[in-house]
């Protein structure tokens, strides 16, 4: 018997957008919840004394540009963004040195909502390009990790599959850094039509998971249930499955959507009691609706403008010899200059 042999894993195949390749084995390679899920979230809130009051969650989504650049968006719930819009607000993010920093958002920061169904889609986005980005310990969710209704069927994902929700636990905020909570549950319903929630109808999936205050805007991930053969499984004959094949959570992880809230027990309870005994069903904005926000015409125009500006700079600075210095990337000042030129603050009549 050989003792002490460890098989190194340099390919992480847990994600729905394709495998990740590493030169050395990452520390989370065999963890059920990858770092990319737990480290993509930020806490958002409004100024308070002595510290900002963090009451919601946001997460980072990225879209590739055409000039080896990347556009980063901060996604949260529409009802959270509406509280932040037009005000000074704060984003609490972890730094690589193990501490946290409060990034200040300005009243002039533009927010984008669903271009045609704002009141039915509880999600909103803003650009995320802080000057100290390289100092932050933040993971991101590539847009091609999003799943839609059609790919749910193709990937055989549906009711009963496991979900992960990563976000803010408001009872644990006085810490040196963000420590997100990870809640688990299962898909409970895929309605295929709008469902009633509060005083309106919304586009949503339903998950079997107890939402709590602070999780609004949190990313919700789903993982495929797959057939797992045990080492003692006999050879599978045509059209026949061995009794030793188990159904387990071992498939790819996709972004299902973002958290909205929960249904409370309405009568006879204080707010804190109602949260403790809420119905245990939470609605989730479908990921496809978030993409409709990100790829709406106005935001497409902004991204295209930045791509063209970068392309022009690359052409102007082209050299035939090996450059002594690396070409400088698009700076924060460049980005903000383009954003001011082509963006405007959305003021929707539909609330």
| CA neighbor of 282 nearest in space, from 150, 185, 181 | 185
* pLDDT, tens digit, 9 for 90 and up, residues 200-259: 888 899 998 766 667 899 999 999 887 666 555 454 444 545 555 555 556 789 999 999
- Count other Cβ atoms within 10 Å, centred on residue 49: 6
Q: Decide: residue 171, CB within 10 A, 0-12 exposed, 13-18 middle, 19+ buried.
A: exposed
**In this predicted structure, what is the pLDDT of residue 270?**
56
List strand residue ranges (DSSP E) for 3-127, in order.
Answer: 11-12, 20-21, 41-46, 53-64, 70-76, 89-94, 100-105, 112-113, 124-127
According to CATH, the topology of domain 11-294 is Thrombin, subunit H (2.40.10)
The pTM of this model reads 0.78
Q: What is the pLDDT of residues 42-57, one digit of tens each?
A: 999 999 877 888 888 9
Q: Which of 16-30, 73-87, 223-237, 253-267 shows the lowest per-residue confidence on average (mean pLDDT)? A: 223-237
Contact, 204 vs 275, CB < 8 A?
no
**Boundaries of every domain in the chain:** 11-294
């Amino acid at each position: 018997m050989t003792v002490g042999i460890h098989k190194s894993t340099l390919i992480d195949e847990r994600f729905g957008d394709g495998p990740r390749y590493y030169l050395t084995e990452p520390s989370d390679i065999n963890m059920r919840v990858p770092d990319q899920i737990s480290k993509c979230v930020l806490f958002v809130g409004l100024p308070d004394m002595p510290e900002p009051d963090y009451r919601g969650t946001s997460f980072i989504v990225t879209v590739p540009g055409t000039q080896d650049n990347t556009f980063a968006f901060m996604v949260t719930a529409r009802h959270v963004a509406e509280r932040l819009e037009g005000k000074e607000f704060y984003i609490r993010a972890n730094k690589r040195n193990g501490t946290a920093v409060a990034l200040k958002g300005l009243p002039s920061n533009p927010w984008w909502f669903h271009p045609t169904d704002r009141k039915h889609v509880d999600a909103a986005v803003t650009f995320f390009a802080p000057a100290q980005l390289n100092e932050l310990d933040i993971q991101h969710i590539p847009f091609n990790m999003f799943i839609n209704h059609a790919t749910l069927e193709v990937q055989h994902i549906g009711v009963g599959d496991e979900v992960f929700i990563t976000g803010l636990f408001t009872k644990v905020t006085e810490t040196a850094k963000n420590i997100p909570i990870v809640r688990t549950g299962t898909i409970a319903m895929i309605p295929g039509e709008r469902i009633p929630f509060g005083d309106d109808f919304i586009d949503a999936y339903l998950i079997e998971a107890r939402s709590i205050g602070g999780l609004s805007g949190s990313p919700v991930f789903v993982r495929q249930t797959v057939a797992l053969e045990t080492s003692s499984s006999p050879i599978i004959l045509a059209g026949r499955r061995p009794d030793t094949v188990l159904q387990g959570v071992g498939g790819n992880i996709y972004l299902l959507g973002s958290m909205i809230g929960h249904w409370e027990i309405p009568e006879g309870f204080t707010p804190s009691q109602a949260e403790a005994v809420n119905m245990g069903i939470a609605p989730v904005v479908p990921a496809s609706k978030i993409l409709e926000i990100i790829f709406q015409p106005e935001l497409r125009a902004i991204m295209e403008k930045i791509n063209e500006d970068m392309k022009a700079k690359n052409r102007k600075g082209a050299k035939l010899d090996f450059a002594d210095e690396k070409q400088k990337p698009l700076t924060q000042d460049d980005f903000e200059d383009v954003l001011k030129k082509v963006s405007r603050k959305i003021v929707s009549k539909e609330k």
